[in-house]
Amino acid sequence: MPAWTAISLPPDVPSPKGPYSPAVRAGDLVFVSGQVPRDPVTGELVGDDVATQTRQTLSNVQRVLEQAGASLADVVSVTVYLARADDWGAMNEVYSKVFRQPFPSRTTVGAELRGILVEISVVAFAPLRS
């Protein structure tokens, strides 16, 4: 039995297509798998620009965090994957409206993202409340 717990999504949200959990909780840490700019219920891609896709992706991150009993305010580390490095400014503008100071640590990397412009994974520190 693992020393961590898989986080499930609500019944109205389809399970991931791959062999992974949307998030896992290991003690006080919540690790959210890479989220993409798809509507969580329909699976449809949302937006055709990086700003719109970043908003949707961060909304999906928030939804998964809430399932784990955490919030965006609990995020301590973010990894952003961009299909085009030149989209950094537009992504950063949306990002800076979602996260507040003190900002979490962040790494942004270029990646091949098969039909999307952005993917985001996070780690949150969210002690279990009794």
Tokens of 41: 């219920």
DSSP string computed for 30-96: EEEEEE-SB-TTT--B--SSHHHHHHHHHHHHHHHHHHTT--GGGEEEEEEEES-GGGHHHHHHHHH
pLDDT of 119 reads: 98
pLDDT of 130 reads: 63
| Region 86-110 average pLDDT | 97
5-125: CATH superfamily: RutC-like (3.30.1330.40)
Domain extents in the chain: 5-125
| Region 14-25 average pLDDT | 89
pLDDT tens digits, 48-96 = 999 999 999 999 999 999 999 999 999 999 999 999 999 999 999 999 9
